[in-house]
Structure 1
Amino acid sequence: MPALTLILAFAALALALPIGAVRLTGRPDPDLASAPESLRGPLRKADRHSRWTRSTAVLAAFASAAIAHFAAFPAAPGVFGVVGLAVLVLGERRSPIITTTTRTAALKPRRIRDYLPRRATTLIPLGLVTVLGLFALGIPTASPVAHIDPPGPGAVNLPAGSYLEGVSTTPAGDLIRSVFYPWPGVFYVIPVLVPLAAQLALAAAGLRSVAAREQVSTSSGEQLDVVLRRRSAEGIVGFLLVSLALPVPRFGTSMIEAATWEVAQWDYLRGALGGPAVLVALTCMATGVFLLIRRSSVLSSSRPSADTTPSEEPA
């Protein structure tokens, strides 16, 4: 029952992604009555471009991951993050803010950390440690040979390094063999960790672009520029969190099953890691989905501006 509840929770969050992305495109333009008249047009275009870029990135990532999953491609979770971040970063580079002919600068340098959602960002290292921890325990314990069942309708062929074979004896002396799949062994190192490394590189490049791009306005009171940068940063962090969460439930549930199978040998270490790993993944997934589909106002900001003393300079 707990496993089914977790699966349903992840399924609900995954389904919320495309639905929220579609609704994001239909949101009406923000009320810019309090903004300077000269900035209303550029801000409206920037807001629309930001929403459409994020929506397109989510839908493209979801469709790509679904196709990869049904094609039995082991890197399907990584496909989601790589495709989504690539679309998001490329879209941000074509933002009306970047293509404007007027540039302004701030006296203080802009830092990436000033625009990150702080609580959500703290989940990224936690998610990374969780994924690496699964592999640290899974690689040494994964079976080094392929598993091939006798021919028949229920035959299962598993590559080496993709499953754990548990062997135990019952009180009656009978030998029991159980196969736990998928397992975070060497078979999944490239499909999971290589796309993850590519996502981190894309995210770093995207966040650097968000912090370094030209300023939309010199109005420090409205904080319009800071809000738009934070929205872009939220999308990048959201994709990272969802991508970190996607591969964990499959591995985590297998590790929990391997730790609690009803025979003589129990391995609490696997369960002690698999259980919290799934909970961390659920937290990352929920936070990432919220960041990707939230409909924040372009004129709202919860933290003070990172640069409150801007000055103009010619392009």
Structure 2
Amino acid sequence: MAIGSGLGAQLSIGAESTYGTYAAPSKHLEFNKADLKLAKTTAQSAGIAAGRFLALSSRRVVTQRQASGSVELEVTNKGMGLLLQALMGTTVTPVQQGAGPAYLQTHTLADSFGKSLVMQLGIPLTTGAVTDKTFLGCKVISAEFSCEVGGMLVATFEIDSKDCDETQTLVAASYSNMAPYHFGQMALKTGVFASEAARDGIRKVSVKFERPQAVERFYAGQAGLKKEPIANDQVKITGSIEMDYVDTIFDDLHTSDAATSLVWEFVGPNIASTYFETFRVKLPAIRFDDAPPTVEGFDVVKPTLSFTGLYDGTNQPAIEYISTDITL
């Protein structure tokens, strides 16, 4: 019997072979918050009938069902592959590095059609019994990654879902020995693509990927459920960098509106040989939108510069992930 509070909750995910069709979750994630929930559209018949003061309960119908929400979690050294694949779109097979147990996943930006997940949320009653909420056809609509001084690397995934199924059996959760990435492992590099140099004074970085999709594909013959969302706008990549004003590199880039490549990475313990646990965001071209440094008092000047990620004409944005995961 689980604890009758959020302490007994669980979140498990798995890749779907067919959009909206249940597949047993295979990964069990530690998470901070999950607010996935069902949304139903109802219609009430209100025909006139002599002497009737209220609409009949029996003539209320559910015309559509869908679900949505978000999941916030710490980015860890294991178990992130399925979420990253659903976000970025490329079908990824981990590649062994050298002869040891290190495996590289390269999640390059691509169309995410066909990349949907089952997300099973276990929510405890106060009695300790855990209710099952299995969300089918989960598409990642956006993801924001953020890390600041003294903090963990945290990600928030926005989810669109086809339906919530409460008839499935809750999969027993088991957790591997995962460790979070954190500020002490963080570095930010900019410059010419593939020759970026580390920058000083960085205090906080955030990057957001948005995957606009047509999420209202409700058609006749689908029992009130949607078909898989389709990309209906260009991907949007934005971010911000908070820093002490130690040099004018970013200030000059803001003034000139010149492009620079950005690499934001977290390098953890050694796995084997020359391979380390790694989470790395690669944006081949960014341009700074605002804001130049301003003086607001006696303290060290701390500009926060926002940027937009763009296509450099050759290289796609990517997320690289090195772990001991043999499969996603």
Q: What is the TM-score of this pair, normalised by structure 1?
A: 0.19
Query: Highest relative contact order (Cα 8 Å, sep 6+), 1 or 2?
Result: 1
More helix by share: 1
